[in-house]
Amino acid sequence: DGGITQSPKYLFRKEGQNVTLSCEQNLNHDAMYWYRQDPGQGLRLIYYSQIVNDFQKGDIAEGYSVSREKKESFPLTVTSAQKNPTAFYLCASRGDGYNEQFFGPGTRLTVL
């Protein structure tokens, strides 16, 4: 089945530790995105990538980093510099020539 996978579904980390969230898609989509969602709020864009080896900051990139070494993969690292990392993180992708984004199931990160 084609789709977007994110792992793990739930993630816990201690304050001060970096953590990497996985996002993989087998839809052959060029564009990929990372969003953050806080309780009762909409989505905010962290980073996006139009093509392999290229990515752009979104609205709230501080404290996060990404890489796009392969078309299928767009991992997000939440660094210790992110002041309030506890949130629901969503990855999405979009096919070239299409406007709708397709979302993964999300990773809920809790910092203890």
Partner 1 sequence: DAKTTQPPSMDCAEGRAANLPCNHSTISGNEYVYWYRQIHSQGPQYIIHGLKNNETNEMASLIITEDRKSSTLILPHATLRDTAVYYCIVRVALLISNFGNEKLTFGTGTRLTIIP
- Residues at the contact surface with partner 1, assessed by CB under 8 A: 4, 31, 33, 40-43, 45, 48, 50, 56, 58-59, 88, 90-92, 94, 99-106, 108
Residue 72 exposed, middle or buried by CB count within 10 Å (0-12, 13-18, 19+): middle
Strand 107-111 relative to strand 10-13, pairing? parallel
Residue 36 β-bridge partners: 44, 89
Q: In the bound complex, what is the minimum distance in angstroms from residue 15's beta carbon to partner 1?
A: 24
Nearer to partner 1, 16 or 40 (CB): 40
Q: In the bound complex, what is the minimum distance in angstroms from residue 57's beta carbon to partner 1?
A: 11
